[in-house]
Structure 1
Amino acid sequence: MAAVLLLLLLPLVSAQTYRWGPCPTPKVQPSFNLQQYLGRWYEIEKLPASFERGKCIEANYAVRRDGTIRVLNSQFYKDKVRTAEGTAVVIDPREAAHLGVGFSYFTPYSPYWVLTTDYTSVSVVYSCTDVLRLFHIEFAWILGRSRFLPPDTVRFAKEVLINEGIDLYKMKPTDQTGC
């Protein structure tokens, strides 16, 4: 049964990073301040994501009147700027760095965990979804307030992920040139 399920899901996860076993539970930013986090972030590096294939990838976060967060992602792909609008919510106000993000009313929120941020230059984000606790699909992003970060800052961000047991073998830089 599990093998059949894996074969059915394989096309969906082929452009993702998946591992056997349940998701890890990394520590998130203590005393996370959502107001300081809002605004534009540029993708510096990431684990593969089928929904992010272009260049000049960025996300812009803003509070809506209803208190949810508008997530506007954009990328340059196949000679066009493509955008996707979603919604983020704080899952538990006691741990505000645990957010959920959704891009469709028909799917549940996906985890969006801010592992660390200084709010002004860098953010490290992790997401993981268990599939029957047999395997998990994970994403990780290093984000910057500018399109390029100093190498030492990128190394620091990668160390945060590695120290939480997240394998960065497939992590790749995002092309932010010519944007």
Structure 2
Amino acid sequence: MMATTHVFAGLAAVAPVAYLLPKLSTPLAVGAILGGLAPDFDLVFDHRRTFHFPVVGAAIAALAVAVAVTVPGPLTAALAALAVAAWLHAVSDAAGSGPEMDPWNHRHGRAVYDHVRGRWLRPRRWIRYDGSPEDAALATALAVPALVVFEGPIDVLVLVGVALSIAYALLRRRLVAWLPDWLE
């Protein structure tokens, strides 16, 4: 899935809490945005293995939420949002296709690495590839709760993210042909 889809999923997950506790809305939004992006920092390493934790991430997210509920505050809220969004990112990558540049060719049966079992989870391909039309539709739908709950700069970031998602989806399959050979 696109980075924006992951970010919007994180924002949608924390939107109800931000609505109920508006004083924590900014830390929740910042944590969700960073958590939605953080797992993909492994693009330069072993993508979808180094920083993606679909199983262990659930325990980390649950612990972070428990700490935030026990000791509520901006820092604990942001860290909980980060952990939840990062876990959602890792889990949802299994719903898509593999990490290759042309996932529509189904060259690999690897979606995301399960560190607990020591094996790759297979791609479900519910979202055929990042930037597919259904990925853009999902990103747009997931952006709605953020647009309803958050205000100011977060709204602007979400609107820019929706525009980028749609533009990327329109160009996605052509991008591979435009890439230099060493990137494939």
> Could you say which TM-score interval applies, normalised by the shorter chain?
under 0.3
The structure whose residues are more often helix, as a share, is 2
The structure whose residues are more often strand, as a share, is 1
Q: Compute the TM-score of the two structures, normalised by the length of structure 2.
A: 0.27
Q: Compute the TM-score of the two structures, normalised by the length of structure 1.
A: 0.27
